[in-house]
Each structure stands twice: as structure tokens, then as C-alpha cells.
Homo-oligomer: A and B are copies of this chain.
Amino acid sequence: MSSERAGHPVTMREVAEAAGVSIATVSYVLNDKRGARIGPEARERVLAAVQQLGYRPNALAKTLSSGSSNFIGLVADAIATTPFAGQIIHGAQDEAWKHGFVLLVANTEGDAAAEEAAISMMLEHKVRGILYSTWYHRAVTAPVALQETEYVLVDCFDPGMPAPAVVPDEVAGGYAATRMLLDAGHSRIAFVNTTTPSPARSGRLAGYRRALGEAGLEFDESLVLSAQPEQQGGYAATDALLALRTTAVFCHNDRVAMGLYDGLRERGLSIPGDIAVVGFDNQEVIAAHLRPPLSTVALPHYELGAAGVRVLLGLEAAPATKPLHISCPPVPRESI
């Protein structure tokens, strides 16, 4: 691309000349200054010249004079290594734009030096504030540099710091998943939970227990299995699950369900005829396309990003002492 083609940027002086007014008049019109007496005719000539010449006001100059920019920073540990984090960005960006802000995104792969560099860059660009987000729900120690501006933790929380945080409601999600199976008439329901300690593990288990309790069923610890939270873990859990003789199973996530599908199929069992399966996450490329399509519960990534921006801008309040919980809606398909 040659810079000749791009041409030189149109200046405010050229707009003034084309409109036959002073530079000050152009500035008043473009900055919508109250109190400046500009006749409607002059205003129209300025706007016509802006249009015709393709003049673009300088957002950076405005930022300098106002002291803060229209940027919101998003520091993410892994945009790219998971299809999940993308939806956080999407929701944050849509919400930011709605309020006249632009999202500055930095992917750090969780590296502390990259995080520091990203936050430093954002502070130098006078961001309105920073969203610090993780690709899965977990406890973090928020970088100290965040304290130089306003910030909100998204999909994570800092147990050592009363900072605003927005996280998925794992308990309500586990409840919704179990509820779908109860509503379909199942009363002996296994839960293949993850081996990894996390808010998802404890929260989804609590939701499972709450749903059973509400339905008047006793919690039976022997019905809770542990598996690596991916396809191989689900596949490996097949025999242990079948030994429990349940009619339904709630899987920690869709990947575990995908592996379990393989294990059940190899043993000649049908879903949901022989056993009903529900997942968690609503990872679309898996859940919507398994045979049969998987009933699951959605992680609200888009909403997490959007709510993070609203909390940052003071448009939504987060509780002072705990994270704001975003609901995980059930997504019924054909595996129940």
C-alpha cells in the first residue's frame, strides 16, 4: 500500500476554507459547543465541507483535552486457546460500543510480564478502566498495576481483594442441568464431576445437590464420579458410570459428555433410550453436533463481558463483598 494512495489527511483549516468560515467556527460546530453562536447556515456549510472533503476529527486530541480516553482495556489470559474467551470479548465490545467506548484487547496467555506490559500500555492510553478476564472461572491474584485505574474482574475473582467481579452462577447452572433430568422423570442421576478443584466443580455439585434435595431425593455420594474434564476423561468413566445403574448422567462439561457418548456407543447403548445425558458449557461445535445433539447448560460468556463493562461504567452495581453472578441458562436438545 503506498502512502500516496492514502493521501494526506484533511485538516480543519481546509474545512474552514471550503466552508468560508474560521477554524474556530469549524471547531465549535464539530465539538458541539454550547454557547457558541453559529448561524444555521454556517453550520450547514461546515458539515457539507466535512462530508465533501472526508474530514475526520482527531479522537486523540479530544482525549488529551478531556484527560481520559474513550478506551476500555480488556486483558485476557487466552483469547485464542479457547473458543470461550471470544464471546467475552464480543459481549464486552458490543456493550462498550453502545456507550461510546472502544475496546482495547490484549491477550497475555497468562504471562505476568505480558500482563504488566499490557496494563501499562492501557494506562498510557488513559483508558477509562480495565476488564481483567480469564478463559475459565477461577480465583486469581489481580496484578497490582490494575489499582492505578478502575477495573472489574471477569470470569474470575480475587479472594484477597474486594474488587468488583462478574462470574457465572455455577450453582444455578448445576441446578438447571439436574432439573432438566428430574423434569424428564429421572430419579437416579449420576454426576461425572471434574477432578480439578475449581468454582465450577464445587458450584455445579452444590447445584446438583440442591436440585435433588428440592425433589425430595437423598444425596448419594456414590453417584458422584470424577473424571479429567475432557473427552478422554468421559470415555474412561464409562464403565464406572454403568456400574452405578443410573438412568441419567450430568457431565461436568460437554467434552466429558462427548467422550462418554463414544464409550456408551461402543457398548451398544443408546442416548437417551438407555441413558439420558446432559452436559455443561454449550460449546456449540460439540454440543449442537453430537448424535443425538446434547442437552446442556450455557456458560454466559457474552453476558459476562457485557456485564463487566456495565459494572466498570457504573451502569450496573456489583455487590460489595462478592462477585456478581450471571445465570447459566439450560439449552435443551435431544439427549434427554
A contact residues vs B (CB 8 Å cutoff):
1, 3, 5-7, 54, 56-61, 63-64, 69, 79-80, 82-83, 85-87, 89-90, 93, 97, 102-107, 117, 120-121, 123-126, 129, 147-152, 163-164, 230-232, 235, 255, 258-259, 262, 265, 283, 285-286, 289, 291, 302, 312
Contact = CB atoms under 8 A, between A and B. Distances in A.
Contacts of A235: 291
Contacts of A149: 6
Contacts of A259: 289
- Which of the listed residues A7, A64, A97, A107 has the most CB atoms from chain B within 10 Å of its own CB? A107
A69 B152 CA distance: 27
Contact of A58 (B56, B102, B124): B124
The secondary-structure label for the interface of chain A is helix
Contacts of A83: 82-83, 86, 285
A1 B151 contact: yes
A302 B45 CA distance: 47
Contacts of A123: 56
A161 to B, nearest CB: 11
Contacts of A150: 1, 3, 6
A54 B120 CA distance: 11
A182 to B, nearest CB: 29
A90 B102 contact: no
B80 A69 contact: no
Given A59-B124, A64-B64, A255-B289, A104 B102 contact: yes
